[in-house]
Amino acid sequence: MLKKKIMLVAGTRPEVIKLAPVCFALRESATLEPMLLSSGQHRQMLDQAFAVFGLKPDLDLNLMQPGQTLPDLTARVITHVGAALREIKPAAILAQGDTTTVLGAALTAFYERVPFGHVEAGLRTYNFDAPWPEEMNRRLADPIAQWCFAPTEWSAGNLRAERIPAKRIHVTGNTVVDALLWVREKLGRAPRPPAEITARCGIPEDFARRYLAGAGARFVLITGHRRESFGKGFEDICQSIADLARKYPDLGLLYPVHLNPNVQEPVRRLLGNNPRVALIPPVDYEDFIWLMDRCHFVLSDSGGVQEEAPSLGKPVLVMRETTERPEGVEAGTCRLVGTNPARILAEAAVLLENPSEYAQRARLQNPYGDGTASRRIREILEQSLA
């Protein structure tokens, strides 16, 4: 029997991480088969993510341009995904999350009348300015979706409140948990010497020796890339990191810096000469989870990191005022701290100086799923497309 093609579109690092398990699940279907389309919204960070999972896109639109603007990128995604849909004629197209690739794919699917499935549907802040432009991307993609794969009951409730028909809403868990378990299993199966991993990440040897090895060594893992923080927000974030380095001489600050030039410029300018802060290139998913497992806590504005942290038992200070992922905050793992240096320093002090509060917030929990989200997505598609 000829299998029906399910096109999976990914454009950025988190989309690959969260669609890889869906791709693996679809490969096991008797009736469906995955076809991987890369928009290439990211380049190096996308290739890095594909490589960890041993995946290679069937078609790569290679759309990234240095310093790309949102309107230009959106237009290119629509034009090129449209051409791919007309040529390949899949039975359905799936996209994950809230990026320009997702919005472009959803709109194109609507125009080409190809059924669209949204993985990680229903996340909301109900504030179009934060996350910007992602909140709008999700709000526009969900009504187009024939299948809204909501990670939690809360996100499903948001969709119902927006009058998305109930039969389109499926609570599956978040596929990020599937990815995390997959990567941890890989790490466990073939453990590598720590020195090899830290060297591969570009962590200076003396920093690794001092803050990643030995009894009592502590480091904070940092990521940041939100557009609404560009400018003053990033200056404040860098100030907080410098303040933390000054106040805690025994604490390492490890920052894999996102490749967006609006991030690179302030971070390199304000922290580049700080001997206490290690600025390294983005690391691959496997290494990032290895680092997350070993850090004391995470300072981040990332969506995916907020979801991974409860399953790893790592507190996160979320450098945002609002989140579309309240489950991690309710679990106590994540705390919204904004970008104000005084507030970040005060919240970091709690995690560094109060062991009982730390233990409370470092409890293992899984509000985002049990590792079966991708299999559920496959089963729903199989039934629906039979």
Residues 306-335 as x/- pattern, contact with ligand UD1 by CB under 6 A: ------------------------------
**Nearest alpha carbon to residue 133 among 88, 94, 159, 97:** 97
Candidates 5, 43, 160, 335: give the one binding ligand UD1 (CB under 6 A): 43
CB of 286: closest distance to ligand UDP in angstroms? 8
The token pair at 132 is 């910007």
Tracing tokens 């060297």 back to the chain, one arrives at: 199
46/309 with CB nearer ligand UD1: 46
The token pair at 32 is 């469906």
Query: H-helix or E-strand containing 221?
Result: strand 218-223
Tracing tokens 């680092």 back to the chain, one arrives at: 291
155/223 with CB nearer ligand UDP: 223
Q: Which of residues 225-244 bind ligand UDP (CB under 6 A)?
A: 225
**308 contact choice in ligand UDP, ligand UD1, none (CB below 5 to 8 Å, kind-dependent):** ligand UDP
CB 323 within 8 A of CB 334: yes
| Only segment of 11-19, 110-118, 237-245, 271-279 that touches ligand UD1 (CB under 6 A) | 11-19
Candidates 66, 188, 216, 275: give the one binding ligand UD1 (CB under 6 A): 66
The span from the CA of 7 to the CA of 368, in Å, is 25
Residue 256 makes contact with ligand UDP by CB under 6 A: yes
81/244 with CB nearer ligand UD1: 81
| Only segment of 10-18, 70-78, 207-215, 342-350 that touches ligand UDP (CB under 6 A) | 10-18
The token pair at 3 is 């299998």
The span from the CA of 247 to the CA of 119, in Å, is 42
123/171 with CB nearer ligand UD1: 123
The span from the CA of 289 to the CA of 235, in Å, is 27
Residues 6+ apart with CB under 8 A from 14: 96, 97, 99, 302, 303, 304
Residue 42 makes contact with ligand UDP by CB under 6 A: no
- Residue 252: strand pairing partners: 219
* Residues that are catalytic: 98, 120, 134, 225, 227, 258
- Residue 254: strand pairing partners: 221, 278
DSSP secondary structure code for residue 202 in this structure: T
CB 142 within 8 A of CB 159: yes
Residues 260-299 as x/- pattern, contact with ligand UD1 by CB under 6 A: xx--------------------------------------
CB of 168: closest distance to ligand UDP in angstroms? 24
For ligand UD1, which residue has the nearest CB? Answer: 99
| Only segment of 23-31, 43-51, 237-245, 322-330 that touches ligand UD1 (CB under 6 A) | 43-51
The span from the CA of 144 to the CA of 146, in Å, is 7
CB of 263: closest distance to ligand UD1 in angstroms? 7
Strand boundaries in 156-275, DSSP class E = 169-171, 218-223, 251-256
125 three-class SS: coil
Tracing tokens 């809403």 back to the chain, one arrives at: 169
Q: Which of residues 279-318 bind ligand UDP (CB under 6 A)?
A: 282-283, 285, 288, 302-305, 308
The span from the CA of 382 to the CA of 208, in Å, is 48
CB of 240: closest distance to ligand UD1 in angstroms? 20
Total residues contacting ligand UD1 by CB under 6 A comes to 25
Applying CB under 6 A, the residues found at the interface with ligand UDP are: 13-14, 17, 223, 225, 256, 282-283, 285, 288, 302-305, 308
Applying CB under 6 A, the residues found at the interface with ligand UD1 are: 12-14, 41-46, 64-68, 70, 73, 98-100, 133-134, 225, 259-261
